[in-house]
Amino acid sequence: MAVDRVAVIGAGNVGATTASRIVDHDLADVVLYDVVPGLAEGKALDILQALPLTKSGRTVRGTTEFNEIGAADIFVITAGIRRGPGMSRSDLLKKNADIISGICKQIARQSPDSIVIMVTNPLDAMAYLAYRVTGFDGARVMGMAGLLDSSRFRAFIAQRAGVPYGEVDALVLGGHGDLMVPVVSRTTLSGVPLGEKMTVTEIEELVERTRNAGGEIVSLLKNASAFYAPAEAVATMVANIVRDEPGLLSASVLLQGECGIDGIFLGVPVRLGRRGVQEIVNMELDPAEEAALHRSANQVRENIFELDQLHPY
């Protein structure tokens, strides 16, 4: 599948920055969509005016009409609401499920051969919902989270060690939440196992900071959440698909017995390409990490069970 057009659904901070990164990287033309009048059009126009400076050969436009997107090859879904004061997890799940379900029905009608990348939270449950509503093959639906969490873990390690970010190799698996699993046993710093470079206490502090990374940003911004790193993570996934260069990364994908887990979306090592998820890589974990991955899977399964009760497909 040649990728010519990416549709980004939702023109908030994450969506607009994602659109900018995709065209800046010269990956595809972008249509930015939002229901708020003028929001997608205004941000797309701003991005467009920067393209002569980035020397991109791509273009971007905004719209409030879903049918004006046309047929897109990849849909990146960032639409939805953040959990606000007094809102329960169930409230957030229901409200975003209603939004995502409507979007996915339109995607299935308009672009039945497309690939969907989910960004909306609760991410693993929303990726599962997209899979159920679109009826797409599981290889064409995925969630962006593990790549973001892995980048955060790598950034914190490099910052603590005082080395370039490229010197750190690490993956974070599991659900996008407080039970995510930074795979310390496979993490290296300058090619050396992390445990040989840092103390157990230092590593535990970095793991905990990674799990709370999104909340740390929210506590600083007060009325907003992270968007630069999430947008770059999405652009990286799009690049792997567009260029058909399946490097190893972590993404939330449908598991059908892999890693001993079945019937849910969960962050695991994968390779992406023009057909979507080309391979789910079985990575050897130590016993504690494997147990942690299954605990994370159980948390995601609870969300999906609740979603199944709340939402008719």
**Is 311 in the active site?**
no
- Strands 181-182 and 172-173 turn out to be antiparallel
The answer to whether the CB of 210 falls within 8 A of the CB of 177 is: no
DSSP for 54-101, please give it. HT----EEEES-GGGG-S-SEEEE--S----TT--HHHHHHHHHHHHH
Contact 97, 312 (CB under 8 A): no
The phi and psi torsions of 188 (rounded to 5 degrees) equal -125, 150
**Long-range CB pairs of 149-152, under 8 A, 24+ apart, other chains included:** 149/176, 149/180, 149/182, 149/210, 149/213, 149/250, 149/267, 150/249, 150/250, 151/229, 151/232, 151/233, 152/210, 152/213, 152/229
Task: Please identify which of the residues 25, 176, 294, 311 carries the catalytic annotation.
Answer: 176
Residues carrying an active site annotation: 176
